């Protein structure tokens, strides 16, 4: 009975999907994001906050897949590094949202992101104290450079 249920649920629910992205919208297209910060975001955040999720085998197996899907959908909605560079000013420079910058430093320094059920399976995603500081130094710098309006 349980086996039958487990087989049946494999056919319902969302399928892993990475939407197509414009390269010029990616965080990598923003010269204000240094390569070491991009690497760190790729390592720690982009499975859930970009269109380049590395889908592991268990993300295809229901009901775990539903749980993971929900995280990725919510994560992309809150902050999507594949859309980071989509807002530009008249001169073509990426416009940074103050909320995004503040939230980024906030979640990283408090350790709320990446969350624990993820780092258990992806220990490499854990950020060191130095890396957390590097993120906040960088967001502080961008905040101070932002045109006041
Ligand atoms: C396993 C998936 C996953 C990973 C990895 C992950 N996040 Fe998230 N993130 C989420 C989900 C789901 C939400 C929305 C639910 C929530 O706010 O708790 C979220 C919310 C956020 C928010 C909005 C917070 C708020 O208060 O509204 C920010 C900012 C964020 N993440 C940044 C990051 C950063 C930066 C990293 C890497 C250091 C990261 N996340 C890693 C899944 C993830």
Nearest CA to ligand 1 atom 10: 75
Give the mutation target among 48, 126, 136 for probing the ligand 1 site: most ligand atoms within 8 A of CB. Answer: 48
pTM: 0.92
Quote the CA–CA distance of 124 and 129 in Å, as a whole number.
14
The protein residue with its alpha carbon nearest to ligand 1, atom 23, reads 78
Ligand 1 centre and the CA of 99: distance in Å?
A: 14
Residues with CB under 6 A from ligand 1: 44-45, 47-49, 71, 74-75, 78-79, 103-104, 107-108, 113-114, 118
Which amino acid residue places its CA nearest to atom 35 of ligand 1?
104
Give the list of residues 6+ apart from residue 6 with CB closer than 8 angstroms, or none. Answer: 62
**Tokens read off for 2:** 């349980």
Structurally, how many domains does the chain consist of? 1
CA 67 / ligand 1 centre spacing (Å): 15
* Full domain range(s) for residue 107: 2-145
Q: For each of the chain's 149 residues, which pLDDT tens digit applies?
A: 888 888 888 877 777 788 988 999 999 999 999 999 999 999 999 999 999 999 998 888 899 899 999 999 999 999 999 999 999 999 999 999 999 999 999 999 999 999 999 999 999 999 999 999 999 999 999 999 887 65
Question: Cα of 31 to ligand 1 centre, how many Å?
Answer: 23
> Does residue 111 come out as left (phi exceeding 0), alpha (psi in the -120 to 50 range) or beta?
left
Pick the atom of ligand 1 nearest to 117's CA.
Answer: 1
């Amino acid at each position: 009975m349980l086996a039958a249920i487990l087989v049946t649920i494999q056919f319902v629910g969302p399928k892993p999907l990475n939407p197509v992205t414009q390269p010029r919208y990616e965080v990598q297209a923003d010269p204000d994001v240094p390569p070491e910060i991009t690497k760190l975001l790729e390592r720690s955040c982009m499975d859930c906050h970009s269109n380049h999720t590395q889908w592991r085998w268990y993300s295809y197996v229901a009901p775990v897949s539903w749980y993971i899907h929900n995280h990725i959908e919510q994560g992309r909605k809150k902050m999507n590094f594949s859309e980071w560079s989509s807002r530009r000013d008249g001169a073509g420079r990426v416009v940074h949202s103050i909320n995004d910058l503040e939230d980024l430093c906030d979640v990283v320094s408090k350790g709320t992101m990446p969350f624990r059920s993820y780092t258990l399976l992806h220990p490499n995603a854990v950020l060191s104290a130095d890396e957390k500081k590097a993120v906040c130094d960088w967001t502080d710098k961008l905040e101070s450079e932002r045109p006041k309006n």
